[in-house]
Amino acid sequence: MSASAETDVRGTAGHRPNPLLEAVEAPPIPAAQAWLAAYDGKAGPLLNLSQAAPGDPPPAELLARLAEAAGAPETTRYGPIPGEPDLRAALAAEMTALYGGPVDAGDVVITSGCNQAFFAAALTVARAGDEVILPAPWYFNHKMILDMLGIVARPFALKAEDGFEPDPAAARALIGPRTRAIVLVSPNNPTGATCRPETIAAFADLAEAAGLFLILDETYRDFLPEGRDRPHDLFATGRSRASLIHLYSFSKAYSIPGHRLGALVAAPALVEQVIKVQDCLQICAPRAGQAAIAWAIPALGGWRAANRHMINRRAALFADRLATVPGWRVEAAGAYFAYVRHPGRQPALAVAERLCRERGVLTLPGSWFGPGQEGHLRIAFANVDDAALDRIAERFLELD
């Protein structure tokens, strides 16, 4: 190819990357971890409360099965695009029992983590220029995914005075001719708040009536508040199955985030489209993890229940100890997170940096989770043990 022809092919863009991708913010967690270098250690051991990572390992038997599966020749080969049949069947059976309504293995696609499940869902229901209604504060990876796909995120505000419960009327007011889906996350990341079943039902009705999809991310459904055993009745009633896309993560439930396993559950017509996305993204999710978790779903029910109680206890302990620090207020807590109002007059980013630099507590500023969040920090209390949380109050600053 001649130099002039090459110039013609390349055009005026030169070597510029995709401008949609360029406009996406850099990953927040590494940006926060860069602050660690400024901490001198004087306040005590570093407490990394920035990322939603399980602080405790999985059971020894699960680790052994993961190791065995990783060493098996068959797991080195490609597997079925929608996931291993045993895992799809095990998850479908568990969901049928949990939600009180039938879920078929054919409704399930196993993904490489729940982020990939959301990516596949977004690409399945919308194209560049379409709109998706996204609760704010939002999970930043959801916003990043929509941005890089050219899908417009229409924020609807979750309010502290409402316990960060999403308002169907506020979402309804945002529906326009390009709207394709509404997103709910329950229990929520970043706030930790859990939607009431009737709220989720109202959103399902809204989506169905408006001809939209409801993308329901239940990554943290294994950490519901005490006394809440069924997240909602959508599967029990059969309501809106054609418009419902359910997302789930095995990472938190089984303390295996490094094995990258999630799931998407939807009607067969949608699953058919999701499989196309999966084939182009990764072909199949990691097979060793799938084999082990197919065993773990029925076998580790007791361990998961105990883990839920432990995380709920840590949430209560964190809220109790932080209540003793003047000016700081836990406005919501649940699953892995507390959403905390700080007492300072500085922006959230400055407060989070100072808390890391002076007290060795790494948190994330609310401003990374959407507009209007400068007064908050997200704190992932599940990352540390009870002993650290018991002494957490002494680490927090009295800010002016």
Q: Which of 261, 279, 300 is the endpoint of a domain?
A: 300
Looking at the structure, tell me whether residues 89 and 223 fall in a common domain.
Answer: yes
Range 208-223 average pLDDT: 97
Looking at the structure, tell me whether residues 269 and 372 fall in a common domain.
Answer: no
Residue 11: predicted pLDDT: 54
Q: Which of 300, 323, 357 is the endpoint of a domain?
A: 300
Residue 168 belongs to a domain with what CATH number? 3.40.640.10
Looking at the structure, tell me whether residues 49 and 166 fall in a common domain.
Answer: no
Which of 218-222, 251-255, 259-263, 343-347 bottoms out in mean pLDDT, i.e. has the lowest?
A: 343-347
Residue 12: predicted pLDDT: 59
CB 190 within 8 A of CB 381: no
Produce one character per residue of 179-211: b if its CB has 16 or more CB atoms within 10 Å, e if not.
bbbbbbbbbbbbbbbbbeeebbbbbbebbbeee
* Residue 12 domain-assigned (yes or no): no
For residue 249, give every residue at least 6 positions away whose Cβ sits within 8 Å of its Cβ, in sequence order, or none.
Answer: 113, 114, 117, 219, 220, 261, 262, 263
Which alpha helices (H) appear in 126-256, and where do they start and end? 140-148, 168-172, 197-210, 234-237, 250-253
Write out the residue range of the structural domain in which residue 118 sits: 60-300
The H or E element spanning position 65 is helix 60-70
* Separation of alpha carbons 364 and 369, rounded Å: 9
* Separation of alpha carbons 301 and 280, rounded Å: 34
Helix (H, G, I), strand (E, B) or coil at 68: helix
* Residue 7 domain-assigned (yes or no): no
Looking at the structure, tell me whether residues 334 and 216 fall in a common domain.
Answer: no
Looking at the structure, tell me whether residues 339 and 359 fall in a common domain.
Answer: yes
Looking at the structure, tell me whether residues 262 and 315 fall in a common domain.
Answer: no
Looking at the structure, tell me whether residues 210 and 133 fall in a common domain.
Answer: yes
Running DSSP on this structure, what letter comes out for residue 202? H
Closest CA to 249 of 101, 57, 91, 59: 91
Domain count for the chain: 2
Looking at the structure, tell me whether residues 366 and 382 fall in a common domain.
Answer: yes
Residue 147: predicted pLDDT: 97
Is the pLDDT at 152 greater than 60? The verdict is yes
Residue 381 belongs to a domain with what CATH number? 3.90.1150.10
Residue 74 pLDDT grade (very low, low, confident, very high; cuts 50, 70, 90): very high
Looking at the structure, tell me whether residues 326 and 244 fall in a common domain.
Answer: no
Range 257-274 average pLDDT: 96
CB 377 within 8 A of CB 325: no
* Residue 3 domain-assigned (yes or no): no
Residue 1 pLDDT grade (very low, low, confident, very high; cuts 50, 70, 90): very low
Q: What is the pLDDT of residues 75-95, one digit of tens each?
A: 999 999 999 999 999 999 999
The whole-model pTM stands at 0.93
Q: Which of 251, 281, 300 is the endpoint of a domain?
A: 300
Is the pLDDT at 7 greater than 80? The verdict is no
Looking at the structure, tell me whether residues 27 and 71 fall in a common domain.
Answer: no
Looking at the structure, tell me whether residues 244 and 102 fall in a common domain.
Answer: yes
Range 254-283 average pLDDT: 96
Looking at the structure, tell me whether residues 186 and 240 fall in a common domain.
Answer: yes
Average pLDDT, the chain: 93
